[in-house]
A and B are shown apart, each in its own frame.
Chain A
Amino acid sequence: MTTVVFGLAVGTWLLAIGLFGSVLATVLLGYEYATGDQSFRRVSQGAAGVATGSFVIALLYLTSQFLSEDYTNAYVWDNTANYLPTLYKVTGVYASNAGSILLWAMLTAVVVTTTLLLDRYSTRGARLSQSLGMGVVTVFAWMLVNDSPFTPLSTAYPSVAANGIPQDGSGLNPLLVDPFMAIHPPITFSAYALMVVPFTVGVTHFVAKLRGTESVFDNWLGSMTRWLRGSWFLLTAAITLGGIWAYRVLGWGGFWSWDPVETSVLIPWLGLTAVLHTLNQYRRSGRYAVLAPAATAVLLPLAIYATTVVRSGVFRSVHSFAGGGIGSGVLFLLGTTTTLAVGPAFVHWFRTEQSDAEEAGLLDRATIYHAAVLGFILLAFVSLWGLTFPVVRSLASGVEVSVDARYYNLWSFPVVVGMLLAGGMYAQQERFSTRTTVGTAAAVLVASLVAGVVLARPEWQLASTEPFDPAYYRAIGSLSVVTVLPPAVYFAGAWIIRYVKRVRRLTGRHAKLNETGIVLIHVGAALLIVSVSFVYVFSTTASVGLVGATELDDPGERIVRDVEGSPYTVEVTDYSPENTPTMAEAAMTPAEAGSVDTSASTVLVKGEVTAIQRFEDTTIAQLNGSRVWVGADSGTVQFEEGSVVVARGTLSDPRSENIDALVYTNGDNFGSASDPPTEVYSPRVVDHRFDVQLYRDDTLVADGTVSEQSYRGRDMQTNDPLIERGITGDTYVVGTRTAGGLSIEISRYPLANQIWLGVAVMLLGMGLVFMFDPASGAAGGRNAGPRD
């Protein structure tokens, strides 16, 4: 039950305590930094601890409300329903704005408070960094108090609450009922939360430079690298889980469609990848003295920008489920964090004379490395700009322009090819002369271009273009996808050779594992790039309509159709709709029905007939020996003692001594528990299942079920495809119900599983680097072998 104290729900008070604690911590830490006075140390730690604790408790409290189906809370009522299993009750917590901000706030507060409680982060500069971190938490807390996930139903939906506490929730968005979606948001927000310390340290670094004080950046470099590697690992996993979800659940045939949300989450990922590269150089050679800390600080604003895209509703996308406007809070956070990340860094860069003592030549390793880093930034720009310019142009001229997959693919492709070449050269140059390296790279480039032009058969081209398309799109779009193959092979080969030569010289076990991690990340990336490119270009789709498929119910009956323009034949052998919950499951027990307000018009009840009374016009039957009875006009319904029945009818109070409630039913609304009157029942979910066999040139290639789910009160369907996985690719069958029956779409995704393999290899690699990097690995061990 939502308890209201002084006009606010208890949960909202918890958030208010969190707000108070984070404001106090922000101010005190700022004061400690400004004055160097340490006398409030305990108070600031306590305030941050209280803030963090109250967010943790608030999140647990909200989760418990979800689990106990507490529909006095509007947010719970909005995001769950009785029929959902426990897992999806829990995921309802972050199904909407307020809950996911609470999750993000809690994780951020935990990370910042951890640095505050550890002694090694207690220099004066650290105070500013922690003050900024708690400042971010403060903004979250402020947003949460204003848009609380604990708002009582009676405040948010007075008209719903007027009829008493609802018996059932309005449900969870069907798209989110999926195991991959259950873990995707917490992982994403964990990744984002880990970016907060790098952000504050990056900002503090430039403030310290401007004030001429000591910077914490170098001291924290090791731990920050660890935070960021952890973040990269989680973000990579989160993006992949999202892709798997889109592939399986949306049933729209694709794991990546350059949807605004997919694109926006790629931006912090690309930024993060660039930052890890710059930090690596900074640590070894001191290069990127401005870029490394500045880029580190920019990651958090990029993540917030990604969230703005997901949540704001400015950009329409498949993620619109979270829409509804997030208000000014996130925009404020975006503005301030961007200003803090860019402002001091820019002023510092502007005021200091850049002393570039080293003269790097065009083909030096440092230059090539730099080119690769710039490549990541360029890719991030392409994604960022693709999201942004339609808004810019629409605001400027009122003209609405579209950004399609072609924009992202064709601008990113040459950059990726260039980066593969640069990355390969960098690895090769470590053991070979510049002359050999340049010669190899040039040969690869020529091979790549020749393959791109010679093998440019129409179905191999990167994009289908028309004569009226812009010249750039025609030029790049007409290249063959094979263009990417020679650079990718060169890249992977160069990194493997570098690894083999390097690992022999290394002595420490940690150092060897670290090197293994690095090579796995790069080889996995090459595999990922090739398979993504090939899937994009070589995927094929054909569809066929099967009229009458929804009438298939006799065994042996089937519909067979050839799929035009493809080698496939489809056979549908059965149609069975399944209700969730079933009518018997949805029915109340007599005890529940007895406690319902009799003004509720229609109820559904299930119970065993324990007594029967016949009157002149009416027969009534007692259920489970309780004070709840079922009645009907005599002769319309056959009651039998001992049988379990399901009845639907109007509820009334007959004002009798022995009967509290009477459910008045009739023949259409009455049945046994094994054969309930499903015609009059509207379940929450109907799963329309079709048994499908797919033949390719008379060979069975896929056999299973395709299904479409429809939802009561929601104007949407979800589709579960039938996916036949194989080493050469996936055969993907999705069925959509149409007015006449079923429409089947068959797609072929070559190399689909190599994508997942590529990601798994990269994750394994990053896991090794995270743990065993001799300089800043989580497993410690600075004593392990030499670097470089």
Chain B
Amino acid sequence: MNARKTITIAFFLVVLGVGHYSMNAAPVIRDDAHTYQGGIEWETDPGTAFDAAQSQDKPVLVYYWATWCTYCERYDKNHYRNETVRAAMDEYVLLAVNVDDPGDGATLARQHQATYPPQHRIMTPEGETVESVEGYIGRDELLATLEKGSEEAT
């Protein structure tokens, strides 16, 4: 067998390996009940989220996002993966609604007029909206909003 054949066979093995490895290594963004924006587990059903909020007495952070939204990627990368932000978000029940495919979140998205991503809302466990963030904001501003929202909503 000559060298060209050898490397062709090696090539196909590499292709299979890359394909298999990369598919399994890809970050999960949604399964049956959750999405995973920025590697954090978010509820997708407002019913479940508000039940949890009431039982834990936590406010709800609603995140409107879309797969093609580059500012959402920045939220994922710059904020949700940050330890301080994550700690502040622990005070919340997290609910993420894909604006293109809102599913159970459709009514809430209409109520918030959230037609473009990214947007955030902070809501009391009873469903009252206390804070709104439209578009992308810096980390300090986000932290301040999260802190303010959790005071207002509890």
Contacts and interface: CB of A to CB of B under 8 A. Distances in A.
Nearest to B10: A374
Nearest to B81: A466
Given A364-B3, A382-B18, A390-B26, A399 B70 contact: no
Nearest to A253: B70
A361 B138 CA distance: 57
Nearest to A363: B3
A545 B141 contact: yes
Contact of A398 (B15, B31, B73): B31
A738 interface: yes
Q: Which range contains the number of B residues in contact with the other chain? A: 35 or more
A356 B28 contact: no
A597 to B, nearest CB: 33
Contacts of B141: 545
A360 B4 CA distance: 7
A473 interface: yes
A389 B115 contact: no
B18 A358 contact: no
Interface stretch (B54-62, B87-95, B129-137): B129-137
B100 A400 contact: no
A545 B7 contact: no
Contact of A401 (B14, B28, B135): B28
Contacts of B11: 374, 377-378
Interface string B9-35: 001001100110111011111111001
Q: Which range contains the number of A residues in contact with the other chain? A: 35 or more
Contacts of B27: 401-402, 404
Contacts of A399: 28, 30-31
A470 B25 contact: yes
A509 interface: no
Chain B CB within 10 Å — which of A385, A390, A400, A745 has the most?
A: A400
Interface in B45-70: 66-68, 70
Contact of A318 (B7, B15, B68, B136): B68
A603 B19 CA distance: 61
A367 interface: yes
A381 B15 contact: yes
A366 B7 CA distance: 12
Given A399-B28, A404-B27, A545-B137, A411 B18 contact: yes
A476 to B, nearest CB: 12
A367 B67 contact: no
A370 interface: yes
Contacts of A564: 138, 140
A359 B2 contact: yes
A316 B137 contact: no
B4 A367 contact: yes
A356 B5 contact: yes
Contact of A402 (B67, B81, B115): B67
Contacts of A317: 68
29 contacts: A252-B70, A257-B70, A316-B67, A317-B68, A320-B68, A360-B3, A361-B2, A370-B4, A370-B8, A374-B8, A374-B11, A381-B18, A385-B19, A399-B31, A400-B29, A401-B28, A402-B67, A404-B27, A411-B22, A470-B25, A472-B25, A543-B138, A544-B138, A545-B137, A545-B141, A738-B135, A739-B134, A743-B136, A743-B137
Q: What 8 pairs across the A-B complex have the smallest Cβ distances? A: A400-B30, A470-B25, A401-B26, A362-B3, A402-B29, A389-B23, A367-B3, A374-B11
Interface of B: 2-8, 11, 14-15, 18-19, 21-23, 25-32, 35, 39, 66-68, 70-71, 73, 77, 81, 100, 115-116, 134-138, 140-141
